[in-house]
Structure formats: structure tokens, C-alpha cells
Chain A
Amino acid sequence: MRLEIAGVSHSYGDLRTLDSLSLAGEAHGVLGLVGPSGCGKSTLLELICGLQDPGAGTISIGGASDGEGRLGRCAFMPQSDLLLPWYSAIDNAALALRNRGMGRRQARGTAAGLFERFGLAGFEASRPDELSGGMRQRVAFLRTLIAGKPVLALDEPFAALDAITRAEMQEWLAAALRTDPRTVVLVTHDVEEALYLCDRVAVLSARPARIVAELAAPHPRAPERDAAVTAPEFVAAREEAMRALRDGSR
């Protein structure tokens, strides 16, 4: 589903966060947002998802530009995994199904199929605090995916992980999106992560955020991550993004 952001501005009281941003995301494409911390990335994601309304400008998803319409089309994965500690892993993953009125058994059955597919088999009944960081992120992603919305909004999904786990999870997400393509908006402060996972990456400036650069990624979601991120064209794109990020932070 196509995402269109046109002239969007936003502020929290006197704190201006977004300054007439315009951006577009293709259907089934992954749009990356990178920017310095505190520049308004999470805020932009919440605006996209219809969790807040912009002060000015319009955001439309598949033609729907009202908050309720966007809320119905987006699944939001917040910055911390936010697995509910009173539910098992599978009940966390199945939350959207339960919210839609599906019975517990049926919801678990549906989620169980995906647990297999996403390398979580055997952890269905685990409590969130028994899972490793990577596992928790997988469950949180699954919870977002199971909602069945056309657009996934992911807020720094791997920021809390160590470098090795993060690289693994990036490959895992790339594979998941190859088999189940969705329109994705991915927020991250990691330029390499953005260029590996996304088709296009928008670099935001410090607050109030505006767009300093838009780049096309050379090898989006390549099966061989290590080869892809060391290819000369990837390194060049990364340098360009870093330069834009530095310029925008000043």
C-alpha cells in the first residue's frame, strides 16, 4: 500500500519536531528513516500510524488520510519490545487476533504456525523474561506481522541488541520480508541497518526534522548480508548517508 507524506509539521507545545516533511513509500517497499536521536523519528512513525495527528500537512496510506483510516492500515512496533509479562510468548504474538475477537485456542493455533516459520518453535509457552533479546524482538515482530495490516511501522527494532545478534536479526528480518513482502517504514539510527534492509532511505536532520537526503539502497535485503554490506557501492552509499547525517546534525 502506498504511503504519502506531504508537508507534515508537528510540535509538542513549543517543541517543534517535524518541519514540513514530504516523503513517499512504494507499496511493498521498505522505507528507511534515519536521523539523530531525539529528532522526531518515533513521532513521525506515530503520525504515520494514526496514533497522533500532524499539526499541518497530510499523511495518506492507500488513499486514507484520516487518523482512524491510518490506524486501521498500520501495525506499530514500538521502540522497546513491550512484550506483556503476564502473557506467554505465543499469547503476546497473538494479541491482534484476540483483539479482533478470535478465541484463545484458535489464535494460538494461528500463531503457532508462524512460530515454526520464524525459528521460535518450542518457545510458545515461555514467559517473555525467559527469552533472549533476539527472541523477544522476533516475538514482537511476529505480533506486528500477525495483525495482518498492509503497513508495518517498526521503531528501532534492533537498537537494544548486541552487534552480532543485531546482524543476525537483520538477516532474519530480510528473509521474513522476502517471503512475506509488506509495505514497511523502518526507523533506525544505524545507517548500515537502514541501507541493508530498506529500498530507500531518508536521512533526517536534527530537530525540527527535515529531509537532508534520500538514497536508494544498492542491494536491499540481499541473502548474503556480509557480502552485501562490504560491496563498494554499499560502502559508498553508507558514506554518503553518514555525510548527510553529519550535515543534518549541525
Chain B
Amino acid sequence: MRRWLLPLGLIALLLGAWQIAASTGAIANALNLEDFLVPSPSEIAAALWENRGLLAENAWVTLREILLGILCALIAGVGMAVLMHRWRLLRDAAFPLIVASQTIPIVVISPILLVWFGYGIGPKILIIALFCFFPITVNALDGLRSTDPEAVKMMRSLDASRWQRFRRVEAPAALPSLFSGIKIAVVFAPLAAVFAEWVGADAGLGRLIQSDLANYQVARQFAAVFVLAAMALILIGLAALAERRVVTWR
């Protein structure tokens, strides 16, 4: 109860303060701005309601990019981690490169990706997947390597094949760590999506935020940010829920 009530109370307090400050024009005056550039929470709520169709349409576009991007990163990242765990040589060769690749700003190469792959959903998925690949791969590999070598010996002695050792010992041992990676990826993915849409898109919340900014549709822009944040929160919640359902032994 307390866990929920206190943050909710704080949110109400902040919104109330914002409402008063915005509707009396205090913020606009202080910043020397036109009133319509500083929407109050009630104006944002109204924009949210009036534009619900438009927002939902664009949210769906972004959500699809996020989910597909995370899925691709998950498949590639877990696959890469398993291969690196299985073949030491590959790990020694590829792991430093994967770490070093983090210094390449995806922000900078994104326009190139767009030029190469066009303005469809493909490059967005790729950019999101590039953001998510690293935390997933590194955490999955960490998890696999955290397997107790004694447990592997025990399984060998109990006639386990390599696949059975992986399935019954190494993979479950890696799950908690993998979920840490997924949770990081889920936090990054919406940001990556907005960013990918800014580089070039004709739909999506990121694109809407950008065009609203250009057209001084500030209330609707805030509404879009709100939807994006809500979507991210729900995704994080779902990831945490999935973790609790899967990793029942922690």
C-alpha cells in the first residue's frame, strides 16, 4: 500500500504544482514565452483524449518496431552468446570486438543505415536491435559462464550429453542474468525507436513528437511523450513479470 501510495501522492503533488504554474501563466511569464508553449497537465490530458486515434496509430507503429527490434536482438544476442560459450576461440576473437563496437555511436551511423536500407521498418528494427544486442549478449554470456563447473562434472558423471548439460544446467543458470540484459534492452529500446524515427520515418511516436515540435503542437507533443513513457513502463513491467514467471527459484 505504502509502496504505491507515496509515489502516487508525489506525482499528484507535482502535477498539481505544474497545473497551477502553467494555468496562471507563471512559467510562460518567467521564461518569457507564449502561453500555448507551456501546456498545463489538463491541456495535455485534453490533447491526449482528442488525439487518441492518432496517438494509438503511431504508438502501434513504434511498439511494433520495439518488439521486433528486441526480438531480433534476443535471437542474435543469445545465439552469439551460446556460440561464444561453446567455442572458446570464437569468444576470444569476437568478444573484444563486441565490446569495442560499443564505442561506435549508433546515432552517427544511423543515417547511413537509412540510406542503405530505405525508410521502411527494416532500418528501425536494425537500429533498435543494435542498441539492445550488447546488453543481451554480454549478460547472456555472463550467465552461461556463471555455471558451477562442479555441476557440469556432476552432470557428465550422470551420463548427460553436451546438449543435456546445456539444457538442464547451463541454460537455466544463465536465465537470471539474461533477464537483467533484457530489462536493460527494454529500457533502451523506446529511446532507440524514437531516435530511429527522427532520422527518417513517416509514422511513429518519435516522428509525431518531431513534427509536433516543428508545428508548435506542444500539448500533443507532451501527450505523445506520455504515451511513449507509458509504453516503456508497461514493457519493463512485462519483462519483470516474465522474469518472475520463468525464474521461479530466486
Contacts and interface: CB of A to CB of B under 8 A. Distances in A.
Interface of A: 46, 49, 51, 71-72, 74-80, 82, 84-87, 95-96, 98-100, 127, 129, 143, 147, 153
Contact of A95 (B148, B155, B172): B155
Contacts of B248: 86
Given A84-B172, A86-B172, A95-B168, A75 B157 contact: yes
Given A76-B153, A76-B157, A99-B164, 13 more contacts: A49-B157, A71-B156, A72-B159, A78-B154, A82-B148, A82-B151, A84-B151, A86-B172, A87-B168, A96-B159, A98-B164, A129-B249, A143-B158
Contacts of A129: 249
Interface in B133-171: 148, 150-151, 153-161, 164, 168-169
Interface size band for B: 10 to 19
B164 to A, nearest CB: 5
Nearest to A72: B159
Contacts of B156: 51, 71
B159 A100 contact: yes
9 nearest A-B residue pairs (beta carbon)? A76-B157, A85-B249, A96-B158, A86-B172, A99-B160, A78-B150, A99-B159, A51-B153, A86-B249
B157 A71 contact: yes
A82 B158 contact: no
A61 B208 CA distance: 74
A82 B158 CA distance: 13
21 contacts: A46-B153, A51-B156, A51-B157, A71-B157, A75-B157, A76-B157, A77-B154, A78-B151, A78-B153, A82-B148, A82-B151, A84-B169, A87-B168, A95-B160, A98-B164, A99-B155, A99-B158, A127-B249, A129-B249, A143-B158, A147-B157
Contacts of A75: 157-158
B154 A82 contact: yes
A96 B154 CA distance: 10
A147 B159 contact: yes
A234 B133 CA distance: 64
The SS class assigned to the B binding surface is helix
A99 B159 CA distance: 6
Interface centre among A49, A80, A99, A129 (most CB of B within 10 A): A99
A72 B146 CA distance: 27
A86 B173 CA distance: 9
A129 B148 CA distance: 17
Given A78-B150, A78-B153, A84 B158 contact: no
A226 B12 CA distance: 71
Interface centre among B148, B157, B161, B172 (most CB of A within 10 A): B157
A56 B157 CA distance: 22
A225 B156 CA distance: 34
A147 B158 contact: yes
Contact of A76 (B148, B154, B169): B154
A99 B169 CA distance: 12
A143 B158 CA distance: 9
A79 B157 contact: no
A84 B168 contact: yes
A72 B164 CA distance: 16
Given A86-B172, A86-B249, A99 B161 contact: yes
Contacts of B154: 76-78, 82
A157 to B, nearest CB: 13
Nearest to B160: A99
A80 B150 contact: yes
B243 to A, nearest CB: 13
A71 B41 CA distance: 70
A78 B156 CA distance: 12
A98 B155 CA distance: 11
A72 B159 CA distance: 7
A200 to B, nearest CB: 23
Contacts of A76: 153-154, 157
Contacts of A77: 154
A147 B159 CA distance: 8
Interface in B179-205: none
A77 B154 CA distance: 7
B97 to A, nearest CB: 30
